[in-house]
Amino acid sequence: MTPKERYIKLKEHLAEENPLLVEVIDRYRDLDTIARSIGFLDKNETYTASISWWPLIAILGTFSAGKSSFINEYLGKKVQNTGNQAVDDKFTVICYSKNEEITTLPGVALDADPRFPFYNISTQIEKLDPNDKNINRYLQLKAVKSDKIKGKILIDSPGFDADVQRDAILRITSHIIDLSDLVLIFFDARHPEPGAMRDTLNHLVQTAITHTDADKVLYILNQIDTCAKEDNLEEIIGAWQRALSQKGIVSGKFYAIYNESLAHIEDPELAQRLKKKKDEDLSAITEKMEKVIIDRAYRIAKNIETRAKEIIEQIEPLKEKLSTFKITMLVIDIVLIVIVGGISYYLANIIDFSYSNYLFIFLFFLIFLTAHFKLKSVISSYMSKKIENSTIKKAFIKHTRWVKPYLLAGSFLNRKKIEEKLSSLINASKHFIQKLNDQYINLKKEEHITEA
């Protein structure tokens, strides 16, 4: 999919699910144009592919933790199979559909579509196992008609075994946590994780707590109704918190819930107390799930400013590298002219050929050009390997290719003009955030008026 096709597709889908974001796509297109002119993006690359346009909510944990039941209850439909044993062996991406029937598509639908969070994930899996090219073993897509999912995407993890496809599962899990706006990690309140699951759950928790945006992770103790028969809810929650603190979770948002439709609590007072706790925590969880749409809109708008500032910061280092390359090549060319010219002049004087002047002029240019382009490639390769920033390296390689005149290297980088264009985009980003503020504040005002 070309960037132009992606812009069109994004506008079509966002017009239906999140109209607020449609106009910001044009600003990303302008940003892409500037980055391509510098060399920070290839012709088929776009910044719109570096960020998810749909808020992602990841629901992770081991089997029997009640993830699927939670999803079904949230969506108001039986989308996922439930049970005390592992009933799903794939990561399931759940998105909105206009069709009444639930549509299930294979993992290749996600791997081949850049609009979804698992675009090209097969290349990562193949790095772990070159013989494993069946992405359908790990992923599936379900499209559901539910207003709850409109404008966002849910990702449900499988009831995986630590010894089966473990490396690929953990790689995908880390990828999910990186991309997600909100991560719900479910624990089964009835018992600690089984031995076969312990390594995987440890990895999940460690990945979450070391993430740069650890605040987006919610820890959910599910099915508390089955282990709070003796009115010891606080003790159970405290015991789990202490156990998790040993894994490094010393703070964070911790919730306790259960599925009321499946609960059998004989003591009315205990049932009422558990229900109150569950309702409070479930309300807080769902409120955060609804809020991700607003958070994602702000992140997408802010990302324009972030990318624009990155480009501004990278221009000067790129100019310095290209200037060094230009000076180096100029010195090399002078040395080549002296050496090749001297040898050619010497040979022309000791060898008596008719038309020798023309012959040696031709040989001079042939030898000079061969040595020039060969050394140019060597110097470009040597210098690029020392550039740590991958974006600057990409632009440097582009502008030091053998077909590019090195004397013009860096001359296209008019920092003042580029900064003017990028400043305009930064202002557009801030203006869009102001529009989000206006809409969100107005929405809140309308809600208060309605409640009054």
Distances (CA, A) of 179 to 55, 153, 249, 277, 437: 9, 11, 21, 30, 24
**Whether 95 contacts 153, CB under 8 Å:** yes
Of 246, 260, 234, the C-alpha closest to 192 is: 246
The CATH T-level fold of domain 54-264 is: Rossmann fold (3.40.50)
Strand partners, 119: none
Pick the more confident residue, 228 or 227: 227
Per the model's pLDDT, the better-predicted residue between 196 and 75 turns out to be: 75
pLDDT number for residue 197:
46
- Work out the mean pLDDT of the chain and round it to a whole number: 79
pLDDT band per the 50, 70, 90 thresholds, residue 359: low
- Phi, psi at residue 441, to the nearest 5°? -65, -40
**Dist. CA 121–CA 98, nearest whole Å:** 27
pLDDT above 80 (res 148):
yes
260/347 Cα distance (integer angstroms): 97
The mean pLDDT of 125-139, rounded to a whole number, is 67
Residue 429, CA distances (Å) to 23, 62, 264 in order: 11, 40, 52
Lowest mean pLDDT among 157-161, 371-375, 385-389, 410-414: 157-161
| C-alpha span between 255 and 107 (Å, rounded) | 32
Q: What pLDDT score was predicted for residue 52?
A: 74
Residue 129, pLDDT score = 57
State the pLDDT at residue 195.
45
pLDDT > 90: percent of the chain: 18
Residues 148 and 74: beta-carbon distance below 8 Å: yes
Q: What is the pLDDT of residues 314-324, one digit of tens each?
A: 999 999 999 99
Amino acid at 19: P
User: Within the chain, what is the greatest distance between any pair of CA atoms?
Assistant: 116
pTM, full prediction:
0.68
Distance of CA 264 to the CA centre of its chain: 42
Residues 178-199 have a mean pLDDT of 69
Q: Is the pLDDT of residue 351 over 70?
A: no
Q: Identify the residue with better confidence: 165 or 89.
A: 89
Contacts 24+ apart (CB under 8 A), 277-282: 277/224, 277/233, 278/224, 281/255, 281/256, 281/257, 282/255, 282/257
pLDDT value of position 81: 76
Confidence of residue 108 (pLDDT cuts 50, 70, 90): confident
Lowest mean pLDDT among 57-71, 279-293, 425-439: 57-71
Query: Per mean pLDDT, which range of 126-135, 248-257, 359-368 is the poorest?
Result: 126-135
State residue 285's pLDDT score: 92
pLDDT at 150: 83
The segment(s) of the chain belonging to CATH 3.40.50.300 are 54-264
